[in-house]
Structure 1
Amino acid sequence: MAPLTDLIDILEKMHEEHQQLLELAKEKREVLISGDTEMLQSLLSREARLLEAVGVLEREREQFVKDYQTSNGLEGTSYTLDELVEHVHQPFLKNRITSAASKLRNVIQELSLANKDNQQLIQTSLSYLHYSIGLFAGKEQTSGYGPNVKKRYSSMLDAKI
C-alpha cells in the first residue's frame, strides 16, 4: 500500500493539468473572438492531450482511494476523497489532502466558468452566422406539387371565362 503522500502527489498533478486546461480555455476565448480557426484547431488538439492525462490521473486517484479503503477494512462504493479523509488520523496529512483537494476543486470551478463563457461565444457566433447566411441566401419560394406548396397561380387558373 502506497503512502498517502502518493495521493497528495496525484492531486497536485491533477491541479497542474487543470491549471493548464484553464490557461488553454483563456487562450481559446481570444481565438474564438479573433476567429483564427487554425489556432483553434491547435488548441483543441492540446486540450485533448491534457484531458487524456487528466483521465489517467483520475483513474489513478480512484484506484488509490479504493486500495486504501480496502487495505484499511473500510467499505465504500464511491471512493471519494471525502470518505478517505474521514479515516485519516494524522492531522498533517489530513490537512494536506484537504488543501490539495480544495485547490483542485477551485481550479475546476474556474475552468467550468471559462468553458461556459466560451460556449456562449460559440453560440453567439453560430447565431450570427445563421443570420448572415439567411440574409445572403434569402427565402426562396417553394414550387412544385403537394400540400405544402403555396398556390401562387390559383387565382388565375380559377377565373371564370
Structure 2
Amino acid sequence: MNSLTDVLQMLTDLHITLLETAKKKQDILISAEINPLLAIMADESKLIKKIKEADEMRMEVLEHDKSYLPLSKLIEQQPDGITKVEWTSKLKLLQRLFEEIDKVNKLNQQLIQQSLTYTQFMIEQMLPQSKDSGLYSSEAAAQDSREYARLFDLKA
C-alpha cells in the first residue's frame, strides 16, 4: 500500500502547483497581459495532463490492491493506524486544494467575463452610431457598409 501513499503525495504536489498556477493566472488577468497568459495556460494544460496520469496511477493501485473502493472507504478499512492517519490527512488536504482551486477558477472566470463585457462595450462605443434602426434601411446601405469596413481596416 506504500505506492498509494506515493501517488497521493504526487497528486497533492501537482494540485498545489495547479493552485499556484491559477493564482498567477489571476494576477495576469488583472494586469491584462496577453503573452504571459498564453504561457501560463500552456503550463496549466501540462499540469492537468500530469494530474490525469497520476489519477490513473491511483486508480490502478486501488484496483490492484483491493476490489475497487473509494479512497474514503479504503481508509476506513485500513488496519494500520499510521497509514490511516497519513491517508486521511492527504485526503483532507486534497479536498481543501480542490475547493481552493475551484474558488480561484470561479474568480478567474468572473474576471474574464468582465474583460469581455468591457471589450464589447468599447467596441460598441467605437462603432459609428446609425441614424436608422439597422443596415437594411434604404438610405443606410452604401454609407454604413463603408464605415464598418473602414473601422475594421483600421484595426487590422
Per the shorter chain, which TM-score range? Answer: 0.7 to 0.9
- Inter-CA distance 95–39: structure 2 relative to 1 (3 Å threshold): same
Corresponding residue for residue 156 of structure 1:
none
SS in 1 for 2:78: coil
Relative contact order, CA 8 A, sep 6+: which one is greater?
Answer: 1
Seen in structure 2, the aligned counterparts of structure 1 residues 150 and 120 have a Cα distance that, compared at 3 Å, is farther
- Residue 62 of structure 1 contacts residue 80 of structure 1 at CA under 8 Å; is this kept in 2? no
Deviation at 1:86, TM superposition (A): 2.3
Equivalent residue for 2:94?
104
CA contact (8 A) 1:12 1:100 kept: yes
The alpha carbon displacement at 1:57 in A equals 0.5
Map residues 119-158 of structure 1 onto 2, 5 A cutoff: 119-140=109-130, 141=132, 142-144=134-136
Gaps spanning 5+ residues in structure 1: where?
71-75, 153-161
- Compare the two structures and name the one with the higher helix fraction: 2
Total equivalences in the alignment? 138
Confirm or deny that 1:63 pairs with 2:40: no
- Tell whether the 8 Å contact from 1:10 to 1:57 is kept in structure 2 after alignment: yes
Q: Which is greater in Rg?
A: 1
Confirm or deny: 8 A CA contact 1:11 1:100 kept in the other structure. yes
Counterparts of 2:72 and 2:99, CA distance in 1: 18
Aligned partner of residue 42 in structure 2, secondary structure: helix
Residue 44 of structure 1 is matched in structure 2 by 41
Alignment correspondent of 2:77: 87
RMSD value over aligned CA atoms?
Answer: 1.9
SS in 2 for 1:44: helix
Cα distance in 2 for residues equivalent to 1:22 and 1:97: 21
Give the unaligned 5+ runs of structure 2. 141-156
Check whether the contact 1:28–1:43 (CA below 8 A) recurs between aligned residues.
yes
Q: Does 1:33 align with 2:23?
A: no
TM-score by length of 2: 0.81
SS of the counterpart of 1:89? coil
In the TM superposition, residue 66 of structure 1 has moved relative to its aligned partner by: 1.6
